[in-house]
Structure 1
Amino acid sequence: MTSILSALLCLGLSLDQKTRVQAGTFPKPTLWAEPGSLINWGSSVTIWCQGTPEAEEYRLYKEGSTAWWYQQKTLDPGDRAKFSIRHMTDPDAGRYRCYYRSPSGRSESSNPLELVVTGHLSDRPFLSVRPGPGVASGENVTLLCQSQSWMNTFLLSKEGATDPPLGLRSKPGAQQFQAEFSISPVTSAHGGTYRCYSSLSTSSFLLSLPSEPLELLVSGGSDDQSLPPTGPVLALTSWERGLTGKPPG
């Protein structure tokens, strides 16, 4: 009787493992880009896909394309693979995902990584701040991104940040197009260097050259660590789903 129960138990565990494999319940890999997801036209970018130590092969693909890349896992550490794009151009921009294979089966695909090319458009928007670059904590601040060319979207990023940038639809101004990004009230966590980009919604992964950097200096108050920074890590197709006029810190 004991041997029969043991056999049934082993069979149940085997079927359970097989069911989990078929359901694709392997840990989802993590996908990221270095030095970041916003890449100057012609520059290089490294894409990392990290899975589990059991992974033997990693595959990277771009949504909407039939092409894919595969790579054996690296030796140190042994749970990730590296993919390189030496010269980033317009066709390389888009949404990427990766997955890995192990002796037990295939993992789910990673969350999307959106690679955006800057410099595709010759337009370079102008970024300004009201009431000025030096403000006291608690004041209301507006970052104004303007373009003399017809652009229907604008993107604001903060240097050194990791969260998605903020996007707004443009509004016609005095002989130019513009978007106003409001911070109300400003805190010391909002201080830093900002840039903005312009784009067309029909080519959401292709951005203009960046504006000249603008440094926002905030005096008084204390750092509010609960405010997330902004950074150029998502393409416009993502932030268009939740447009807002108030940038995070």
Structure 2
Amino acid sequence: RAPESGLYFLLGNLPIPTISATPGSVIPWNESVKILCGGTPESFLYQLEILGNSTYKVVEKKWGFQKTAEFVIKRMDTNTAGRYQCRYRKQYSWSVHSEALELVVTGPFSGTPASDSFPETLSKPVIWVKPSFMIPEGKLAIIWCQGTHEAAEYQLHFEGGLSAFKRPKSPGMSNRVKFPIPSMTSQTAGQYRCFYRSGELWSEPSDPLDLVVTGDAGDTTFAPTEHTSSDHWDSYMLTTETQFQEDPVLWSHNAQNLLRIGLVFLVLVALVWLPVEDWLHRKKLQERASRASRQECRRFRAQSPGEMTERCSGHR
């Protein structure tokens, strides 16, 4: 057994540990999950931690020289769901922490007997994509996930792993969020599912949504739109409701065009107005000079009627 010491320090040359969950990171209520933490064969201590708001709590430690340590959570519920990380110790040094692994607990799936300890069941979310499930390479795709008005958070999973999460901007006012994919590639094509959370409870996963990337960037107006659901949703109503929630990229583009047009208009107005203003200013100066000259001639005539005849002859 390796010697114990109270002096632990970090070495930058230790490999970053890996963390994963089997059979997956989405676990039904009361089911078990195995968390794997990968290090080096010389690692003699592995530590699993669950993350809080700003701290972490040690869940379990595994002793013994091994390249990968296994941690088993026998029953998943709202207390064991959350974000996990791990690290390992080699000789007198701790590695850095692994990336965070999000474990999501869901309601009992179809065929799972109800449990008295299970607080409630959330309805399955609806997932669909615009403009189509077949997206040309490099084009924008927007995945929508619809839950309930009580949903506090949504998660999008890609090929079984967490891809993105989002909280509604106005909780209680909207029952859907969108996850944009700015540029479709072969790396972003595949199967997507979404979840939502109400309180501490997560819903079942949505039906799978398969996105296909194509090499043709032509018109996809008549391509079928993926919109799968076990519930009876009115596709027309969903489409109508989302017409007023256009993609922010398009809105930004239109706003930029309007701003450019406005700036060009202001420049044209300035180019026209400046010469006109200059001409009006010169005209006013000439009129003032002419009035002053006429007044001067009248004053001289009054004082010396015989003088300044030639000079003032043009102001009669």
The 1:92/1:62 distance shift into structure 2, 3 A limit, reads same
2:103 to 113, 116, 120: 116
The 1:31/1:221 distance shift into structure 2, 3 A limit, reads same
User: CA shift at 1:66, angstroms?
Assistant: 5.9
User: CA shift at 1:112, angstroms?
Assistant: 4.8
Q: Secondary structure at the match of 1:53?
A: coil
User: CA shift at 1:62, angstroms?
Assistant: 2.9
User: CA shift at 1:92, angstroms?
Assistant: 1.2
- Please state if 1:25 is matched with 2:20: no
- 2:126 is matched with 126
Contact 1:128 1:214 in 2 (8 A): yes
- 1:4 is matched with none
Which runs of 5 or more residues in structure 2 are unaligned?
1-6, 108-120, 218-247, 250-316
- 1:159 is matched with 159
Q: Secondary structure at the match of 2:11?
A: coil
User: CA shift at 1:127, angstroms?
Assistant: 0.8
User: CA shift at 1:137, angstroms?
Assistant: 3.6
From the two aligned structures, give the one with the greater helix fraction.
Answer: 2
Which runs of 5 or more residues in structure 1 are unaligned?
1-20, 223-244
User: CA shift at 1:61, angstroms?
Assistant: 3.3
The 1:67/1:122 distance shift into structure 2, 3 A limit, reads same
Contact 2:127 2:207 in 1 (8 A): yes
Q: Which amino acid aligns with 2:10?
A: G
Q: Which amino acid aligns with 1:133?
A: F
Superposed counterparts of 1:135-150, under 5 Å: 135-150=135-150
Contact 1:154 1:196 in 2 (8 A): yes
Contact 1:157 1:195 in 2 (8 A): yes
User: CA shift at 1:179, angstroms?
Assistant: 0.9
From the two aligned structures, give the one with the greater strand fraction.
Answer: 1
- 2:203 is matched with 208
The 1:63/1:195 distance shift into structure 2, 3 A limit, reads closer
Cα deviation code 1:178-230 (max 9, x no counterpart): 11222344344433221111125x64xx53211111222333259xxxxxxxx
Rg (Cα) greater in structure: 2
Higher relative contact order (CA 8 A, sep 6+): 1
- Please state if 1:193 is matched with 2:181: no
- 2:70 is matched with 82
TM-score, normalised with respect to structure 2: 0.51
Tell me the percent identity.
30
Q: Aligned-pair RMSD on alpha carbons?
A: 3.4
Q: Which amino acid aligns with 1:43?
A: E
Cα deviation code 1:149-170 (max 9, x no counterpart): 421322222225x5x4122232
Q: Which amino acid aligns with 2:125?
A: P
1:92 to 56, 72, 80: 80
C-alpha distance in 2 between matches for 1:210 and 1:85: 20
TM-score, normalised with respect to structure 1: 0.62
Aligned residues between the structures: 194
Contact 2:124 2:206 in 1 (8 A): yes
C-alpha distance in 2 between matches for 1:100 and 1:137: 41
Q: Secondary structure at the match of 2:79?
A: helix
Cα deviation code 1:120-145 (max 9, x no counterpart): 55132111122232344454332211
Q: Which amino acid aligns with 1:207?
A: W
C-alpha distance in 1 between matches for 2:157 and 2:151: 17
